[in-house]
Amino acid sequence: AKELGLWLLTQLPPDSQIAVLGVWAGARNRVEVPMGYWRMIERHGTRDQKRDGGWNYAVERRNRLKGQGYGSMTTAGLATLFICMDNLHGKDFVRCRANTDTAAIIRGMKWMDANFSATSNPKRAGHYYYYLYGVERVGLASGYKYFGTKDWYKLGAKALIARQSANGSWQGRLLETTFAMLFLTRGQHPVLFNKLQYPGMWNSRPRDLANLTRWISTSFERPVNWQIIHLGVPVAEWHDAPILYISGAAPPKFTDKDLTKLRDFVAQGGVILSEAACNNAPFDKGMRAAYAKIFPRYELKTLPADHPVYTLHYRIGAGRGLQGISNGVRLLAIHSPPEVSLAWQLRKYRSGADVFQLGANIYFFVTDKGILPPRGVSRWPKVNAFTPTETLKVARVKHAGNWDPEPFAWKRFAILMGNRHSVKVEIGPPTELTKLDPTVWPVAAMTGTTSFELTAAERAALSKFLSDGGTLIVDAAGGGERFTDAVEKEFKAALPGARYGMIPADHAMFTKVGPKIAKATYRKALRLAVFDSKKPRLRGFWLKGRLAVIFSPDDLTAG
């Protein structure tokens, strides 16, 4: 390795980058590489960095470009320094501190923020495809979703697709096509974690998620990535990943606007994972205060020893001390007062195996052991313009139980109905049973996770709403048995003459109205724990032969 390193010092930077990548691949596969090699490469990279923070070709040091970096070589220099950082400086972050990158990397990233382009090699003609390959390497190594305000993968993929030839190649050449394919394929690997950049010490362990996702990718032969996002972009930009990771070694400084964004991300289906780096008590206290504002109706509680995050794939002792906030359907947030980032940062694959396994369990729990979509596919639907073919007005029923566990569920449903079927769904305000009017809201929706009781007035109002032609859609959010038991008890009391039972598979709702429904999809955990069926399992209450109440004991709201 020493001879190779000395040889590299005399070569052009492109050769250096490719050679370093080869040595790095060997090191990741248990080839012993002396630390002196990585120090030599780091000295080489930092020595050749220009005053503007970029890099250029060594052979051009004496020409007119002297002192000015450009895109293709700046990405090569940065990618190389990130590899050196992983191999040389992991232990520099045992103690939490504010400055989490080397000076050369900080300067290089500032150059990228100021000069990134998806359509040309900045400050240099040619080598465009090699440059984009370097962009992909720096983007994945650094974790940053944006250079400046620009989403490097979205813009780069758009530019490459526009340039692809009819025969599938780029410029009809193998090398350019290879670089383009590497950008598109590696860059689109699913993103498992977003790491939140916020005012404060958010990045005390800069390589924690890089090492965790690399371990998960290798262990399960399923490539996953991570990235860094910030509070200055819309929540829609956060949905590349299902998990928002918030690490801190000082009190988090969230504004009310920031807290609203965090709440909206979770309401749209995301989960927050927070940890106190260096076991920082002020961060722990500050995060608890933030959670109390974000989720005022729910408590942060210690997760029991048999919770799936400890048992789903790996068996992990409950001594990890994880806490969670649940809406009765799913965990909205997972909080770890003891740090988890140190083991990830130091790549303690053996002595800290349980911490890596915990990360995998959280991954499988949040995704229901599902397959993540590629980068850029949002979990929250985009609103498309459409001309309504009909309008459906739906009131949401407010009752004494946990009546609104997923506040954005019907909003999501309305977007999908418009996008897919051109049906406009108007969602009414929360309405008590005693105020339901079928002439205003012909359909009402009721959900919950806990037991509840109806008053005599509410029972009478329910009976009148249905007798006057209204239709009620009811579901036990998350499949909660207590809510199901309460529905059956209270509705049978309110509707003594109604027939209650399973809705047959040949009912018009499944076969004639809208798309035909021959099978239903259930969450994997529910399917394995309760039943194994692909058929709809809806129940109903019939009044005078009319299906007046449609009830799902297996959830609709969370799905």
The domain ranges of the chain are 1-188, 190-376, 390-552
Q: Is the pLDDT of residue 2 over 60?
A: no
Predicted pLDDT of residue 129: 96
Return the minimum-mean-pLDDT range out of 156-170, 364-378, 485-499.
364-378
Return the minimum-mean-pLDDT range out of 144-158, 381-395, 501-515.
501-515
Predicted pLDDT of residue 216: 97
**Upper half-sphere CA count for residue 349 (Cβ side, 13 Å):** 11
- C-beta contacts of 356-359 below 8 A and 24+ residues apart: 356/212, 356/215, 356/216, 357/313, 357/314, 357/316, 358/309, 358/310, 358/314, 358/316, 358/320, 358/322, 359/212, 359/215, 359/216
pTM: 0.90
pLDDT band at 1; cut points 50, 70, 90:
very low
% of the chain beyond a pLDDT of 70: 93
Class of 390-552 in CATH: alpha beta
| pLDDT digit string, tens, across residues 446-467 | 999 999 999 999 999 999 999 9
| pLDDT digit string, tens, across residues 204-240 | 999 999 999 999 999 999 999 999 999 999 999 999 9
Q: CA geometry: angle at 427 spanning 425 and 428, to 5°?
A: 145
Predicted pLDDT of residue 21: 83
pLDDT band at 137; cut points 50, 70, 90:
very high
Q: Is the pLDDT of residue 91 over 90?
A: no
User: Under a CB-based contact definition with an 8 Å cutoff, are residues 290 and 259 in contact?
Assistant: yes
Q: What mean pLDDT is predicted for residues 398-414?
A: 95
**Separation CA 291–CA 442 (nearest Å):** 37
**Separation CA 481–CA 459 (nearest Å):** 21
Predicted pLDDT of residue 7: 47
pLDDT band at 64; cut points 50, 70, 90:
very low
pLDDT band at 15; cut points 50, 70, 90:
low
Q: Is the pLDDT of residue 6 over 50?
A: no
pLDDT band at 62; cut points 50, 70, 90:
low
Q: Is the pLDDT of residue 127 over 70?
A: yes
What one-character DSSP code corresponds to residue 274?
A: E
| pLDDT digit string, tens, across residues 504-531 | 988 888 888 777 887 777 776 666 655 6
The sign of the dihedral angle between the CA atoms of 527, 531, 535, 540 is negative
* Residue 408, number of CB atoms within 10 A of its CB: 14
Return the minimum-mean-pLDDT range out of 98-102, 162-166, 501-505.
98-102
Predicted pLDDT of residue 530: 58
Q: Is the pLDDT of residue 49 over 60?
A: yes
Return the minimum-mean-pLDDT range out of 9-18, 181-190, 302-311, 527-536.
9-18
Return the minimum-mean-pLDDT range out of 186-190, 321-325, 504-508, 525-529.
525-529
Domain 390-552 in the same topology as domain 190-376: yes
User: Under a CB-based contact definition with an 8 Å cutoff, are residues 212 and 344 in contact?
Assistant: yes
243-248 and 150-151 strand pairing: unpaired
Query: Is the CATH number of domain 190-376 3.40.50.12140?
Result: yes
Q: What mean pLDDT is predicted for residues 238-251?
A: 96
Q: What mean pLDDT is predicted for residues 479-501?
A: 95
pLDDT band at 9; cut points 50, 70, 90:
very low
Q: What mean pLDDT is predicted for residues 94-117?
A: 87
Q: Is the pLDDT of residue 4 over 80?
A: no
Q: Rounded to the nearest 5°, which phi and psi values hold at 540?
A: -150, 160
Q: Is the pLDDT of residue 496 over 80?
A: yes
DSSP letters spanning 372-438? PPPTT--SSPPPPP---SEEEEEEEEE-SS---SSTTHHHHHHHHHHHHH-EEEEEEEEEEGGG--T
- What is the overall mean pLDDT for the chain? 90
Q: What mean pLDDT is predicted for residues 323-328?
A: 97
Predicted pLDDT of residue 510: 86
